[in-house]
Amino acid sequence: MRWNLRMVAAERGIWKSTELRRQLADAGLEISAGKMSGLWTGTPTTIRLEDLDIICSVLNCSPTELLIREPEKVAAARPPKAHAAAAGSVPSVVPRLGRNRSKPPA
Protein backbone atom coordinates (compact mmCIF):
# COMPACT_ATOMS: atom_id res chain seq x y z
CA MET A 1 0.00 0.00 0.00
CA ARG A 2 1.08 3.52 -0.70
CA TRP A 3 0.01 6.36 1.61
CA ASN A 4 -1.23 9.27 -0.49
CA LEU A 5 -2.14 11.91 2.13
CA ARG A 6 0.00 14.75 0.81
CA MET A 7 -1.30 14.44 -2.75
CA VAL A 8 -4.95 14.27 -1.65
CA ALA A 9 -4.43 17.27 0.64
CA ALA A 10 -2.71 19.22 -2.15
CA GLU A 11 -5.62 18.49 -4.50
CA ARG A 12 -7.84 20.17 -1.88
CA GLY A 13 -5.57 23.21 -1.54
CA ILE A 14 -3.89 22.13 1.71
CA TRP A 15 -0.15 22.57 1.28
CA LYS A 16 1.13 22.45 4.87
CA SER A 17 0.75 19.78 7.52
CA THR A 18 0.02 22.47 10.11
CA GLU A 19 -3.02 23.57 8.12
CA LEU A 20 -4.35 20.01 7.92
CA ARG A 21 -3.59 19.49 11.60
CA ARG A 22 -5.65 22.58 12.48
CA GLN A 23 -8.57 21.37 10.34
CA LEU A 24 -8.40 17.92 11.93
CA ALA A 25 -8.44 19.53 15.40
CA ASP A 26 -11.53 21.55 14.38
CA ALA A 27 -13.15 18.23 13.42
CA GLY A 28 -12.29 16.68 16.80
CA LEU A 29 -9.04 14.86 16.05
CA GLU A 30 -6.12 16.18 18.10
CA ILE A 31 -2.85 14.95 16.59
CA SER A 32 0.57 15.69 18.06
CA ALA A 33 3.05 17.53 15.87
CA GLY A 34 5.24 14.41 15.73
CA LYS A 35 2.43 12.12 14.65
CA MET A 36 1.22 14.67 12.09
CA SER A 37 4.74 14.87 10.69
CA GLY A 38 4.79 11.08 10.36
CA LEU A 39 1.42 11.02 8.59
CA TRP A 40 2.46 13.88 6.30
CA THR A 41 5.94 12.70 5.30
CA GLY A 42 5.76 8.91 5.44
CA THR A 43 3.56 5.88 5.46
CA PRO A 44 2.00 5.10 8.83
CA THR A 45 2.47 1.56 10.08
CA THR A 46 -0.90 1.78 11.82
CA ILE A 47 -3.82 4.15 11.77
CA ARG A 48 -7.00 3.96 13.79
CA LEU A 49 -10.16 3.61 11.73
CA GLU A 50 -11.76 6.48 13.65
CA ASP A 51 -8.80 8.72 12.73
CA LEU A 52 -8.98 7.63 9.11
CA ASP A 53 -12.69 8.42 9.07
CA ILE A 54 -12.06 11.97 10.33
CA ILE A 55 -9.18 12.51 7.88
CA CYS A 56 -11.46 11.41 5.03
CA SER A 57 -14.22 13.67 6.28
CA VAL A 58 -11.94 16.73 6.48
CA LEU A 59 -10.44 16.04 3.05
CA ASN A 60 -13.79 14.99 1.57
CA CYS A 61 -12.27 11.82 0.17
CA SER A 62 -12.55 8.05 0.53
CA PRO A 63 -9.98 5.69 2.08
CA THR A 64 -9.21 4.35 -1.40
CA GLU A 65 -7.82 7.76 -2.33
CA LEU A 66 -5.50 7.74 0.71
CA LEU A 67 -4.46 4.07 0.49
CA ILE A 68 -3.35 3.08 -2.99
CA ARG A 69 -2.90 -0.60 -3.75
CA GLU A 70 0.39 -1.75 -5.26
CA PRO A 71 -0.23 -5.29 -6.54
CA GLU A 72 3.15 -5.42 -8.31
CA LYS A 73 4.92 -5.16 -4.94
CA VAL A 74 2.79 -7.99 -3.57
CA ALA A 75 3.64 -10.16 -6.57
CA ALA A 76 7.35 -9.35 -6.22
CA ALA A 77 7.32 -10.28 -2.52
CA ARG A 78 5.64 -13.64 -3.16
CA PRO A 79 8.05 -16.59 -2.68
CA PRO A 80 8.81 -18.73 -5.72
CA LYS A 81 6.29 -21.50 -6.23
CA ALA A 82 7.27 -25.07 -5.46
CA HIS A 83 7.63 -27.50 -8.35
CA ALA A 84 4.34 -29.27 -7.55
CA ALA A 85 2.42 -26.02 -7.24
CA ALA A 86 3.89 -24.75 -10.50
CA ALA A 87 2.69 -27.89 -12.26
CA GLY A 88 -0.87 -27.06 -11.22
CA SER A 89 -1.34 -29.59 -8.43
CA VAL A 90 -1.85 -28.51 -4.86
CA PRO A 91 0.40 -30.26 -2.35
CA SER A 92 -1.53 -32.36 0.15
CA VAL A 93 -1.50 -31.53 3.82
CA VAL A 94 0.18 -34.13 5.99
CA PRO A 95 -0.89 -34.08 9.65
CA ARG A 96 1.89 -33.93 12.21
CA LEU A 97 1.25 -36.69 14.70
CA GLY A 98 2.79 -36.30 18.08
CA ARG A 99 2.09 -36.89 21.69
CA ASN A 100 -1.62 -36.53 22.55
CA ARG A 101 -2.60 -35.91 18.94
CA SER A 102 -4.93 -38.00 16.89
CA LYS A 103 -5.53 -38.19 13.18
CA PRO A 104 -8.10 -35.72 11.85
CA PRO A 105 -11.52 -37.09 10.90
CA ALA A 106 -11.73 -38.51 7.39
The number of angstroms, rounded, from the C-alpha of 90 to the middle of its chain's C-alpha atoms is: 30
Q: pLDDT tens per residue, the chain (106 residues)? A: 899 999 999 999 999 999 999 999 999 999 999 999 999 999 898 999 999 999 999 999 999 999 999 888 888 887 776 554 555 666 677 766 667 766 777 7
pTM: predicted TM-score of the whole model, two decimal places: 0.69
Q: How many CB atoms lie within 10 A of CB 68?
A: 11
Name all domains of the chain by residue range, CATH numbers in brackets.
Answer: 2-68 (1.10.260)
